[in-house]
């Protein structure tokens, strides 16, 4: 069963969130660099789509490393670096990788062909409209229409210490019309996401992803030193599920009609249903599934089976009817949107 969301072709409504599965493949058989170890027990081609790590024009070390050739004796050094970029905290994770990625050209050279069996969404990030324009041109040139499901604009990351709000409208105005692929805008819960969603509707964006992780801070209680190298980081996982639900529901209450892909602590079928009821059109597995505490990796095969069953259940689930299935975004009267959406939601099928 395939699903089409405003021109975005998905194999089903269950996706994987940006970056949690790296670039969609591992180069090494034993050390699944960039991939969650759990990924080896799930055929990734069965997901509605797999979203890549955010790619930039040039490779970036960020707050981690681009090295893939760690020797066994260097493992402690690697783990120390890793601990400065991602930490397990109460009910979730705090991370600040800072767009550590190999760059868009190396992604196409080294991973694009190897992941052709997946339905892919390519996440891109930049610091100006020019950079987004050039990333879109690269994707246009290297991926023919239909080769990927969409391109996702990450204009909402806290870990690169940049104010994206200042460039958002120009990015959308200039980069969306030149894309040969549907564009998804990823929203931050820490910014004016309703205004950003309205901007997305005005500029021809095909769908929204809600939410990017939540700006957060943890300190070592003994020393007051930040746990992460970047001081601030982003919170993800179970802790942010209610925030994600709030954002999706508020977008619908505000009359936003673009399809919404939800990601915020989603782990099981009830989480998915909750997000569908709040107004999501697709749901995505992120850190609550792929970043399990290490000892649980021993249970990887069982977790793989559970995820495969989850894909089946979500594929069979008849989601509540959403505005997007009725047509493209309306030129909404800002005074009326809540009622318009409630009317549509009222006709939902259970
Ligand atoms: C370790 C880690 C790295 C992430 N890297 C990216 C990224 O490169 N680009 C992006 O758009 N989101 C990134 N995210 C955010 C996730 O895609 C997702 O939006 C967020 O974690 C909320 O969903 P979750 O609670 O289900 O994980 C990252 C999240 C984590 C935990």
| 227 falls within a domain | no
**Total domain count, the chain:** 1
Please report the pLDDT score of residue 34 as a whole number. Answer: 63
Q: Is residue 269 part of a domain?
A: yes
- Cβ burial, residue 117 (10 Å; 0-12/13-18/19+): exposed
What mean pLDDT is predicted for residues 135-158? 95
Confidence of residue 132 (pLDDT cuts 50, 70, 90): very high
Residues 6+ positions from 113 with CB-CB distance below 8 Å: none
Q: Is residue 90 one of the residues assigned to a domain?
A: no
Q: Confirm or reject: Cβ of 123 under 6 Å from ligand 1.
A: yes
User: What tens digit of pLDDT does each residue of 234-245 get?
Assistant: 999 999 999 999
pLDDT number for residue 275: 97
Task: With beta carbons less than 8 A apart as the criterion, state whether 264 and 245 touch.
Answer: yes
Is pLDDT at 121 greater than 50 in this prediction? yes
In a domain, 81, yes or no: no
Report which protein residue has its CA nearest ligand 1's atom 31: 287
CATH number at residue 110: 3.20.20.70
Among 61-70, 239-248, 294-303, 338-347, name the most confident range.
239-248
Q: Is the pLDDT of residue 348 over 70?
A: no
* In a domain? residue 259: yes
Q: Measured from the CA of 285, which atom of ligand 1 is nearest? A: 26
Atom 21 of ligand 1, residue of closest alpha carbon: 236
Tell me how far the alpha carbon of residue 346 lies from the centroid of ligand 1, in angstroms: 32
Q: In terms of residue numbers, what domain contains 121?
A: 3-62+98-213+236-346
Nearest-angstrom CA–CA distance, 185 and 196: 9
- Per the structure block, which two tokens stand in for 223? 């020393």
Kindly name the residue from 104, 136, 157, 214 that is annotated as catalytic.
Answer: 157
The answer to the question of residue 219 being in a domain is no
Helix-then-strand count for the chain, H and E = 10, 14
Establish if 220 belongs to a structural domain: no
Predicted local distance difference test score (pLDDT) of residue 78: 82
How confident is residue 79, by pLDDT bands cut at 50, 70 and 90?
confident
Evaluate whether residue 79 is within a structural domain: no
The model's pLDDT over 84-110, given as tens digits with 9 standing for 90+, comes to 888 999 899 999 888 899 999 999 999
pTM of the complete model: 0.91
């Amino acid at each position: 069963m395939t699903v089409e969301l405003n021109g975005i072709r998905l194999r089903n409504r269950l996706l994987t969130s940006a970056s949690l599965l790296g670039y969609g493949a591992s180069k090494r058989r034993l050390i699944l660099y960039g991939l969650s170890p759990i990924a080896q027990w799930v055929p990734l081609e069965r997901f509605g789509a797999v979203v890549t790590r955010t790619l930039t024009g040039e490779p970036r070390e960020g707050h981690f490393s681009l090295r893939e050739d760690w020797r066994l004796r260097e493992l402690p050094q690697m783990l120390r670096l890793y601990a400065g970029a991602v930490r397990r905290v109460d009910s979730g994770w705090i991370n600040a990788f800072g767009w550590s990625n190999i760059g868009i050209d190396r992604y196409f050279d080294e991973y694009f062909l190897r992941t052709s069996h997946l339905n892919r969404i390519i996440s891109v990030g930049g610091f100006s409209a020019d950079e987004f324009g050039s990333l879109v041109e690269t994707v246009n040139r290297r991926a023919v229409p239909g080769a990927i499901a969409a391109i996702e604009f990450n204009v909402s990351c806290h870990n690169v210490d940049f104010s994206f709000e200042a460039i958002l409208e120009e990015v959308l105005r200039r980069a969306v019309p030149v894309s040969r692929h549907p564009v998804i805008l990823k929203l931050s819960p820490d910014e004016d996401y309703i205004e950003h969603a309205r901007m997305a509707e005005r500029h021809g964006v095909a769908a929204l992803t809600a939410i990017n992780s939540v700006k957060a801070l943890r300190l070592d209680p003994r020393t007051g030193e930040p746990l992460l190298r970047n001081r601030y980081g982003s919170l993800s996982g179970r802790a942010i599920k209610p925030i994600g639900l709030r954002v999706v529901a508020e977008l619908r209450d505000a009359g936003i009609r673009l399809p919404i892909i939800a990601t915020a602590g989603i782990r099981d079928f009830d989480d998915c249903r909750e997000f569908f009821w709040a107004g999501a059109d697709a749901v995505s597995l992120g850190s609550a599934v792929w970043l399990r505490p290490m000892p649980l990796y021993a249970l990887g095969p069982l977790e793989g089976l559970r995820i495969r069953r989850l894909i089946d259940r979500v594929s069979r689930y008849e989601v509540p009817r959403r505005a997007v299935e009725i047509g493209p975004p309306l030129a909404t009267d800002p005074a009326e949107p809540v009622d318009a959406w409630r009317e549509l939601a009222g006709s939902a099928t259970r």
